[in-house]
Structure formats: C-alpha cells, structure tokens
Chains A and B, each alone.
Chain A
Amino acid sequence: MRLRLKLFASFRETVGARDLEWSIDEPATVNDLLNSLVIRYPGLAATLSQGMVALNHEYVANDARLSDGDEVGLIPPVSGGALP
C-alpha cells in the first residue's frame, strides 16, 4: 500500500523532505512503518521512537493498523534529545 508521510521539525531536517510517498507491504502497523523508516533513514533511529504518530490527523498508538492512502504525520519529541 501507499502512504503519505508528513515530517516536521527535526524529522524533516533529518530526512530532507517534508512530504514522502511511502510503500509498505500489507498488513502493516505504525510500528512496521517506523521500522521501515529507520532502515532507510538511520539518522531517525535515536529520536523516531520518542516522537508520536498522527494517523489522518489523530494521534494513534504504535499498534494502529495502516490502510492504503493514509496520511501519517511524524511528530517529533519535545527537543529532539537532551538539551545543551
């Protein structure tokens, strides 16, 4: 299935894009998506799990099921890690 990913703040900077078209095998959960992202973008590994995920503009847990055409917003944590 195809997903429309939205990346913000530190996630956007790490990936270098605000919008991503993403393919993943069905069935897939948010957790499967996060794992596939970390493989492609290892720079997200440290912070992706600290963030939150919005599925079609609503916060969801990582076991939420994804469907073809879903918009998935990747919401970075407070400060992207420890403060200086």
Chain B
Amino acid sequence: MSESTLDMFKIVDEPIDVAKLADVVRTDECGAVCTFLGVARLYSRGREVVHLEYEAYPEMAEKKMAEIAREIQERWGTKRVAMLHRTGVLKIGEASVGIAVASPHRREAFEACQYAIDRLKTIVPIWKKEVWSNGEQWIGWEGQPPADLTPEKPQRA
C-alpha cells in the first residue's frame, strides 16, 4: 500500500462502511487502528428524533478534512487518516461520520482519532437538521469565530 495516496477525505451520500475505512488506513507498520462512528441517535435534548438531514459544503469540507489530517501528522506523526461524512436523510442508528486513524502504537491512534472528530465538528462546514414528529431545526455545525479556527496548540512535548 502506498504511503499517502489512499487516504480518504470525502463527503458521501451512501452508508459508511467502517471496515473499509479501517482497511484504507492500515499498513504493516501500524499496530493500532482506531475507528470512530458518529451515529444518529433517537433522543436529542429531550426530544424524540424522527430522522436527521445532513448538508455539506463538499469542496470546502473535503479540503478542511485534509487539513485536519495534516495537523494530525504534525502532532502525532501518522499520515494514516481517513474521514467520511454522509449527507442526506439518515435514519436513527445510521452513521453520519466515520473516522479511522492508524499508527504504530495505540496511544497515538486513540488521541488522533478523538482530535479528528472534535476538530471536524469545529471547522468542517456540515450542518444537521433534526426532524421531530412536530417540527424541525438546523442544529449541525458547532463552529466558532475565525479567531478560534487555528490549530490547537500541541499539548505534548
């Protein structure tokens, strides 16, 4: 497997296959593969959700995902990162976002995977609409003002 060409940063409109995502990032040098799935849940702030709708700014979203992967490479030294985010209507239980990170050892994979989803929710332009039986509202993007969009300062020596 080549070192860099198979990494994926994509907005998709079909179900996310987490096993495939893990396969994309793993190499023989990696002893750890950490995956994360964000899943549409039934209850949100006390309301029962019928379904979710996701919308993205795809060109920018994919660019920002690649940016997050570069931040991870600088901080944890691994290039093996893949991120998919689904758009359209999602039923309860379906995955909206999938992330996989592989590294030689587990600590880096866990930390980088958590960083990836936190950062994705901050800088990747994607919105979520919650649809309830009696209404709907855009919730999605948990962004912040531009001043807060620079990479977090490394906390490790």
Task: Kindly identify which residue among B56, B60, B123, B139 contacts A78, using a CB–CB cutoff of 8 Å.
Answer: B139
Q: A8-B55, A75-B125, A83-B45 are in contact. Are A59 and B141 (CB under 8 A)?
A: no
Residues of B within 8 A of A57 (CB): 59-60, 63
A 51-84 binary contact with B (CB < 8 Å = 1; else 0)? 0101001011100000000000101111110011
Instruction: Report whether over half of chain B's contact residues are helix, strand or loop; otherwise say mixed.
Output: mixed
Count residues of B near A (Cβ-Cβ below 8 Å): 22
- Residues of A contacting B63 in the complex (Cβ-Cβ under 8 angstroms): 57
Among A9, A52, A61, A75: residue with most chain B CB under 10 A: A9
Shortest CB–CB separation between residue A2 and chain B, in angstroms?
19
A75 to B146, CA, bound (A): 12
Q: Which residues of B contact A (CB under 8 A)?
A: 45, 55-57, 59-60, 63, 123, 125, 127, 129, 135, 137-143, 145-146, 149
Could you write out 6 A-B pairs with CB less than 8 Å apart?
A8-B57, A54-B125, A73-B57, A78-B139, A79-B137, A80-B138
